[in-house]
Amino acid sequence: MIIRGGGRLSGDIRVPGDKSISHRGVILGALANGTTVIENILMAEDTRRTIKCFQDMGVEMEMDGDSLRIEGVGLHGLHESKDELYCGNSGTTMRLLSGVMVGQKFSTILTGDDSLDKRPMDRIIIPLTMMGGSIKGVDNRYPPLHIEPSKGGLEAISYSLPMASAQVKSSILLAGLYGNGITRIEEPKVTRDHTEMMLKYFGADIYSEDGFICMEPNGLLSGGYIHVPGDISSAAYLMVAGSMIKDSHIIIRDVGVNPTRTGIINILKDMGADIRINNRRIANLEPIADIEVKYSSLKGIEMGGEMVATMIDEIPILAVAAAFASGRTVIRDVEELRYKECDRIRAIHDGLSNMGADIEELPDGLIIEGGATLKPAALDSHGDHRIAMALSIAALGAEGESRINGHRAVDISYPDFYKTLWKLSQ
């Protein structure tokens, strides 16, 4: 993909449906009784993997326009797949599906592509085993995951997450649907709460008590209508582009603004971005709004701790914003990025360095001295959708042509990303 920098961005657009909410809608729609219709579902590589896994277990799903219709089979209506359940590159699919599968009466093997098979799964294996689940991986840490029926059934646990992870939390909650007793989870930092919201929307008995997320299984989820808002993680690339490229003005419609996901907006405002949230409303318990972004002079800041816990996926694009800001930006406490589709700390460091940015790699983050004039370069996505999109936005801010190797990685979460950039550039 060739990116030509130097022009302004302007337009009124929408971004794809939220990936996290789409995954969870498919999972709970399959496990609910009755029909679920998911409007504006993200049909990208990752979510297609979740859909296919449930279809392989006998759940009927059919697309109608941009809506997915699911005929739920109930908590105990899944059937053993003839083949392994292939999760592709989707860590969300594997981790959340593991929580469902430990509660089934049949055996399952969850596998992924070469990248996913190198990502650690012990963070779910440990708590699911504590609940009585029979789940094993390579070296008890990596996929493929072999799951057998629990001999004595699952028992609820009270579990303090050793590290903040919405995927681990969600896996335990989904297993808790099959457990005996009240599942209690304590988070070291608040993470995205889409699973809790959707469980509640589908009728689960879930609540907060004394700092714990608590859920008591009631044996029944009821299907319904879900509208998936635009993905704020996808909108983040356009928010940064609109903020850093002169004379830009972008309106992004119908974006999810769940408070556990809006850290990117708060950080950009701290950096001096001109961002306004308009037309707030609620759909299936999730807040939605329109986001308006105008060019402004960004400045460097320090970020870490709870500030970054809710926006780990947005760190690569924030590094790009920092490269175009004045002054120093320090990003800490994001070591988890080293265990994503690629080592995202190393990948964004190398990409921006190739463009002439003054950037230093830390064990758990980055130090960026902003203000250098970036030059076009040959850039590598490392097969990671978030690196491909972040470096593409950086290329828009450089005079001349940059080349993005492996640009099709964007299909994982934002298949029309380059079409959107083309539309905004006209």
Annotated catalytic residues are 313
Burial of 363 (0-12, 13-18, 19+ CB in 10 A): exposed
Q: At what angle do helices 263-270 and 232-244 cross, to 10 degrees?
A: 10
Distance (Å, rounded) from C-alpha 312 to C-alpha 198?
Answer: 21
CB 380 within 8 A of CB 397: no
Structure tokens of 73? Answer: 């089979």
Nearest residue to 242 (alpha-carbon basis) of 180, 195, 289, 296: 296
Distance (Å, rounded) from C-alpha 407 to C-alpha 358?
Answer: 24
Distance (Å, rounded) from C-alpha 78 to C-alpha 352?
Answer: 47
**Positive or negative, the Cα torsion across 63, 65, 67, 69?**
negative
Pairing of strands 327-331, 302-303: parallel
The CA distances from residue 76 to 191, 193, 231, 337, in Å, are 29, 25, 31, 36
Amino acid at 64: D
Name every residue whose Cβ is closer than 8 Å to that of residue 64 and which is 6 or more positions away in sequence: none
Helix (H, G, I), strand (E, B), or coil: what is residue 282?
strand
Q: What is the dihedral of CA 347, 353, 358, 359, to 10 degrees?
A: 20
Helix (H, G, I), strand (E, B), or coil: what is residue 61?
strand
- At residue 17, φ and ψ (nearest 5 deg) are -60, 150
Structure tokens of 183? Answer: 């599942």
Find the length of the chain.
426
